[in-house]
Structure 1
Amino acid sequence: MISSNTIYEVDTVLHADSVEWCPINNYQDYLLCGTYQLKSCAIKSDDTDSRIGCLQLYQIDNKSNIEDFKLKQVFQVDVVGVLDMKWCNQPLLENMPTLATADAHGSVKLFSLYIDQHKKAKMKNWCEVLNPNSVALSLDWSSKQCTKDIQIAASYSNGNLGLLKVCESDAVLLQQWNAHGFEAWITAFNSENDSVLYSGGDDCCFRGWDLRCPEHSLFNNRSHDMGVCSIQSCPSNSNLLATGGYDEHVRIWDVRAMRPKPLTNLNVNGGVWRVKWHPKLKDVLAVACMHNGCFILHQDQVSLNLCSRAHYTNHQSLAYGIDWCYLENSVSHFLASCSFYDHKLCLWNLNKQLL
């Protein structure tokens, strides 16, 4: 196992918990970092006015030499504390890249990335759907490749899931139901079937839902020993699903035949806050492991076993965010990750020969 190399690092000032590379062509050199922090003067931890944050927009600098590129901050939006965020895989309003955020006020907000008349990149908020008396903990976009009937699923601190429909210039809450006994930490669509949704909660349950009749779950898996806080369907193989949680295990499932035990699992010795499949490679995923940095994992296609190919240890605090850059070269994959209390954003590379 090899430790990966840091290319560039940034002090985000506020506590960093989410990073997302833009997937849209001609914008793939843009990276967003979300932050969340409780004001030191806060009297109660549930005082939502005390939860501050921002969206920091970065662009790769020195793109002509991708081995030596840097991150340049080009814009910042001050917002309520961000818990999660995701780019839509296609442009929406006015054909611009669109980001959704889940925040501490219980809102899902939509932002567009645009270039102004001075050729400066900026973000603007054009929609908000509020879920009162809760914190929005995670979200995911449906995978449809058309601008009609795009949906967002969100999970909340009261254990609920919500389904939003994105219209031409607005979004509306279609339905909401209780999915978990405690915080619903994570939700994710199946990468090919938008009628199937997954969720994980602090009740240690990992559940599947048919959105055509969400009154009863498709399955309720209790193999996790602690709260489930990360789920992602593999974008290149929708039969594979990765989950992770506070019990420090990454699990891989075949959703065609959900069983009490996964296909394989690996203990990464740190709470698994985010799992991110490689956007093209069906057997590779990146993992943010809280107290134990970040890992690149590989699943053997014969034995199905997971093994670690790289360990990134440059974070001295809770590693919460990780994502693959869509730009790469013949030698390296590039990733960004962030950590909380040391408010650090890191850009690093992975040699392709390791995979």
Structure 2
Amino acid sequence: MTSLNSIYSERLDLPPSCVAFCPTSPECFVVGTYFLHPKHEQKNAVSDAVDGPNSTAAGAGSDDEAQKRSGSLILYRLTDDHIVHSATELTPTFSILDIEWSPHVRQHGSILAVATSTGSLAFYRLQAENSGARLQWLCEKQICDAAILVLDLVWHTSQAHVIAVTLSDGRVCICKNPTTTDSLWSTQEPLEIMDVTQHDLEAWTLAFAPNSTAMGIFSGGDDAVLRRTQSVDQEFGGWHDRRSHHAGVTAILPLRSDLILTGSYDDHIRLISAPIQGRRTVLAESNLGGGVWRLKLFDPAAGAAALPGTPTSASAILSRESGPSGSLLILASCMHAGSRVVRLSRKYSPGAPLAVHTDWSFEVMAKFEEHKSMNYGSDIQPGDGTADADGRRLKTVVSTSFYDKLMCLWRVHTGTT
């Protein structure tokens, strides 16, 4: 395992909770921040037990409700080996829990959706100006009661007017514009909100199932339950799995409709066979040394072909045409353990069904441990990356940590160019 070092770092004014590179302007990225203001009777800063994104959703009715939360969206630009500040949008009335750029560039352009601590989704547009780029506020849509936090959000991959969210009261909801196909952020258009499923505790994460015409959704919660539900009433009523994880489910990354990666507070990354019907099976797992808060795939080399309904990054490992073996790289944000670069590998046996194949394995290829507190937000710069003197491909990563307010820039080898 390789230990990686930063090539640039800086301290932020507020604790960072999430980070996302812009797909249309890959030199730009946004950091969302989260700050829980101390109670008046507290002389010191709020304790670690109540002011992190993974603990603020302690539930409606707690004393934390009365405390003010604020944050910011900070726009940066990568310039060689440096991070340059472009603009800051303060959010004095809410903190940021999650951010995600719209994948529907033709319909939306560069639109950023923001999950807030006041039960709403906020929308911003990346605006280029003569003086530099900035985030232009578009609108805010109320999803639920302002005392409830929106914890995670995801755009539907093919329906540009649909976003799904998870909430601190355990609900998983679909939000869509009922009258248009692309103006989800329009101030004139009300959103249609539909509850899809309910976790017993905070619903930390969700993902749309690839190739799901009925909007199949995977979700995970603090109740250690992995769920699959459909937003459209069909014969399939969904399932829930309580056996695969030993603590809260905090990350879900589908490779295809019946094969997913998960992360958990129990420090493990898992590959799970998760068919619509039939038993769920853990095909591989690995202890990463810290709670696995988020998972992201490294892009493949230029020219790689995607399978229908499959992330391009996953095609090399899922396609039999790629040969008897294959692998992909995953970036894991591992809370107190820092960041990990993990390789998932498989070997096919002739005639063996992919979904139940047992010869899968994880290997930690590299670790980044300069963060001294919770690593919640990390992202990979889009594109082919750069090459070192030996022709090895380098990918750029920005990672953050919460309590020490640290943002780091680093690179990792991901293969040959």
- What is the TM-score with the length of structure 1 in the denominator? 0.89
Unaligned 5+ segments in structure 2 are: 42-62, 301-312, 315-327, 348-358, 388-392
SS of aligned partner of 1:295: strand
For 1:277 and 1:5, locate their aligned partners in 2 and report how far apart those are by CA, in whole Å.
21
Q: 1:211 aligns to what? A: 231
Taking the TM superposition and a 5 Å limit, the aligned residue runs for 1:1-355 are 1-24=1-24, 27-41=25-39, 44-47=63-66, 50-62=68-80, 69-79=81-91, 80-91=94-105, 95-116=108-129, 118-130=130-142, 131-132=144-145, 133-144=147-158, 147=160, 150-166=161-177, 167-168=182-183, 169=186, 170=189, 172-193=191-212, 195-213=215-233, 218-222=238-242, 223-234=244-255, 237=256, 239-256=258-275, 259-280=279-300, 281-282=313-314, 283-302=328-347, 303-327=359-383, 328-330=385-387, 331-353=393-415
Identical pairs, percent: 27
Unaligned 5+ segments in structure 1 are: 63-68
Given the superposition, is the C-alpha separation of residues 279 and 108 from structure 1 closer, same or farther in structure 2, using an over 3 Å criterion? farther
Given the superposition, is the C-alpha separation of residues 248 and 215 from structure 1 closer, same or farther in structure 2, using an over 3 Å criterion? farther
Given the superposition, is the C-alpha separation of residues 269 and 290 from structure 1 closer, same or farther in structure 2, using an over 3 Å criterion? same
Structure 1 residue 45 displacement after superposition: 1.7
Q: Which amino acid is 1:219 matched to?
A: W
Structure 1 residue 190 displacement after superposition: 2.0
- Residues 35, 82 of structure 1: 8 Å contact kept: yes
- Residues 338, 346 of structure 1: 8 Å contact kept: yes
- Residues 162, 173 of structure 1: 8 Å contact kept: no
Given the superposition, is the C-alpha separation of residues 98 and 42 from structure 1 closer, same or farther in structure 2, using an over 3 Å criterion? farther
Number of aligned residue pairs: 339
SS of aligned partner of 1:300: strand
- Residues 295, 332 of structure 2: 8 Å contact kept: yes
Could you list the per-position Cα deviations for residues 65-89 of structure 1 after superposition, in whole angstroms to 9, with x for gaps in the alignment? xxxx211110111121111111111
For 1:171 and 1:5, locate their aligned partners in 2 and report how far apart those are by CA, in whole Å.
47
- Residues 96, 114 of structure 1: 8 Å contact kept: no
Q: 1:65 aligns to what? A: none
Structure 1 residue 279 displacement after superposition: 3.5
SS of aligned partner of 2:360: coil
Given the superposition, is the C-alpha separation of residues 6 and 308 from structure 1 closer, same or farther in structure 2, using an over 3 Å criterion? same
Task: Report the aligned-residue RMSD.
Answer: 2.3
Given the superposition, is the C-alpha separation of residues 293 and 214 from structure 1 closer, same or farther in structure 2, using an over 3 Å criterion? farther
SS of aligned partner of 1:46: helix
SS of aligned partner of 1:272: coil
Q: Write out the 4+ residue segments of structure 1 that deviate beyond 6 Å after TM superposition.
A: none
- Residues 5, 350 of structure 1: 8 Å contact kept: no
For 1:290 and 1:206, locate their aligned partners in 2 and report how far apart those are by CA, in whole Å.
20
Greater Rg by CA: 2
Q: Which amino acid is 2:345 matched to?
A: D
- Residues 251, 264 of structure 1: 8 Å contact kept: yes
Could you list the per-position Cα deviations for residues 14-35 of structure 1 after superposition, in whole angstroms to 9, with x for gaps in the alignment? 11110111112xx111111111
For 2:165 and 2:411, locate their aligned partners in 1 and report how far apart those are by CA, in whole Å.
31
Structure 1 residue 53 displacement after superposition: 0.6
